[in-house]
A = this chain, B = another copy of it.
Amino acid sequence: MIAEILATGEEIRSGALVDSNSAYIARKLEEAGIAVSRHTSVGDDMTALVAVLREIGERAHTAVVTGGLGPTEDDLSAAAAAKAAGVFLETHPRALEEIERFFENRRRLMSDSNKKQALLPKGSILLSNPIGSAPGFSLKIGRCTFFFLPGVPAEMKRMLEDHVLPRLTADASEHRSLCLTRTLSTFGLPEAAVGERLAGVAEHVPGVRLGLRAKFPEIQVKLYAYGRADQNLENALDEAAAVVAERLGKRVLSLEGHPMEQVVGRLLAEQNATLAVAESCTGGLISHRLTQVPGSSGYFLFSAVTYSNASKIAVLGVDPKTIERFGAVHEETAKAMAQGVRRIAGADWGLSTTGIAGPGGGTPEKPAGTVCIGLASEKGVFAKRLHFNFGSRRMHKAVFAQSAMDILRLTLLSGWPEK
């Protein structure tokens, strides 16, 4: 079964509003095994509406339309549907009853324009709206069964659940096809390299397709399993995920798409270890991300955002001579910061960043995009220097923070680095 989705309304057409309804409907249809082939949006324009309804009527088996069911003059969905199907509008008695009851129950006065909402194309099946005044309807146009729903997300969701999905899956048996998805998050390889390492994976596991998505600074691997309800699609996803994990090794953060802060948090909690952070160029972002995770107070003790050199010295106890000799952005300074914050907080791990997020502050030797990351534990301390060149302060902060958490993650996974 091929499905299409149509969103109507001037706000969506003109970009004043982002259309999140269509993605929601697509997800729900795909989960039910109905393949969505296309989304379209047009404004409140009779000619455009009739044209697109007729096109979809030729192409698809079923379609979900949102918007245009309200009481005002620019709500054109019922009239456009009637025109596209070549039928008249007529007052639907049960629709009128439901609208009247809606206003009665809310003790609100029903206006004449609300009566317009009961005018439906002849031959329509009424779709009740239990939480709003606009009833929906279903109508055949061309070879396609259309479901017209309100644009208000809460009403659309409720009616999709109550009316549309049950009708579409009513005749579906165990043989109906569906699509399950899974997301793996990765960090440390550019998108092209991830793609190359994963070349041919889809052929290994029949019925599974693979897609990549850059969710800066992570690259997500999306797995899609298409098949019938009685096939073991979860198994196919498990198999494909195992192949991806093998090819990418420790570059895979999570087989469930979890973000870095959650992965690091789980490792710390499992190892019963505590963390303190000293942030310079990342400005609090590492701490903010770590504390987005519920329960983070169990392992995250303290962070010092030491933007000024004075605070690196006064709070973290960094030797002024270290900064004088090497500069604030240097492995030696990063090491002293990591050791300092670990000591102050009495934590098992001390993690530090010092670098240049830009746009200003760079030098030829240490351009914007340079970061030094330090990690201290009872076993000692080490530091790494990394270079990025994203041309944006925000992106630099994000990739610095991610890299620092990644160094901690890899060390928690593999132990203290050799030599």
Between-chain CB contacts (< 8 Å), 9 pairs: A11-B211, A16-B222, A19-B23, A38-B42, A111-B196, A131-B391, A282-B288, A285-B288, A315-B344
B294 in contact with A302 (CB, 8 Å): no
Q: How far is the CA of A285 from the CA of B284 in the complex (A)?
A: 6
Q: CB-CB < 8 A to A94: which residues of B?
A: none
Q: How far is the CA of A391 from the CA of B11 in the complex (A)?
A: 27
Interface string of A155-180 (1 = CB under 8 A from B): 00000000000000000000000010
Binds B, one of A136-144, A187-195, A239-247, A404-412: A187-195
User: CB within 8 A of A284: which of B48, B152, B291?
Assistant: B291
Report if A38-B40 is in contact (Cβ < 8 Å); known contacts: A213-B17, A315-B315, A344-B314: yes
Report if A12-B36 is in contact (Cβ < 8 Å); known contacts: A284-B291, A307-B301, A390-B131: no
Residues of A within 8 A of B (CB): 9-20, 22-30, 36-45, 48, 52, 70-74, 105-108, 111-114, 130-131, 133, 152, 154, 179, 181, 190-193, 195-196, 199, 209-214, 216, 222, 224, 277, 279, 282-288, 290-292, 294-297, 300-308, 310-311, 314-315, 344-346, 357-361, 387-395, 397
Copies in the complex: 2
Chain B's nearest CB lies how many Å from the CB of A8?
11
Q: How far is the CA of A42 from the CA of B40 in the complex (A)?
A: 9
Q: CB-CB < 8 A to A52: which residues of B?
A: 38
Report if A211-B36 is in contact (Cβ < 8 Å); known contacts: A72-B195, A305-B304, A307-B301: no
Chain B's nearest CB lies how many Å from the CB of A312?
9
Chain B's nearest CB lies how many Å from the CB of A417?
23
Q: How far is the CA of A266 from the CA of B181 in the complex (A)?
A: 46
Q: CB-CB < 8 A to A344: which residues of B?
A: 311, 314-315
Q: CB-CB < 8 A to A181: which residues of B?
A: 14, 16
Q: How far is the CA of A282 from the CA of B216 in the complex (A)?
A: 23
User: CB within 8 A of A13: which of B10, B18, B39?
Assistant: B39
Residue of chain B at shortest CB distance from A20: B18
7 pairs of A and B residues whose beta carbons are closest in the complex: A283-B291, A284-B287, A15-B26, A15-B27, A284-B284, A303-B305, A72-B195
Residue of chain B at shortest CB distance from A24: B15
Q: CB-CB < 8 A to A308: which residues of B?
A: 297, 301-302, 345
Report if A300-B307 is in contact (Cβ < 8 Å); known contacts: A213-B11, A224-B14: yes
B294 in contact with A212 (CB, 8 Å): no
Q: How far is the CA of A128 from the CA of B344 in the complex (A)?
A: 50
Chain B's nearest CB lies how many Å from the CB of A289?
8
A192 in contact with B15 (CB, 8 Å): no
Report if A302-B315 is in contact (Cβ < 8 Å); known contacts: A191-B71, A360-B294: yes
Report if A394-B292 is in contact (Cβ < 8 Å); known contacts: A303-B284, A304-B303: yes
Q: How far is the CA of A133 from the CA of B390 in the complex (A)?
A: 11
Q: How far is the CA of A305 from the CA of B286 in the complex (A)?
A: 11
Q: CB-CB < 8 A to A211: which residues of B?
A: 9-11, 16, 44, 74
Q: CB-CB < 8 A to A209: which residues of B?
A: 10
Q: CB-CB < 8 A to A392: which residues of B?
A: 131, 154
A212 in contact with B72 (CB, 8 Å): yes
Chain B's nearest CB lies how many Å from the CB of A392?
8
Residue of chain B at shortest CB distance from A285: B288
Q: CB-CB < 8 A to A29: which residues of B?
A: 15
User: CB within 8 A of A27: which of B16, B302, B394?
Assistant: B16
Report if A19-B19 is in contact (Cβ < 8 Å); known contacts: A10-B224, A285-B284: yes
A37 in contact with B26 (CB, 8 Å): no
A13 in contact with B26 (CB, 8 Å): yes
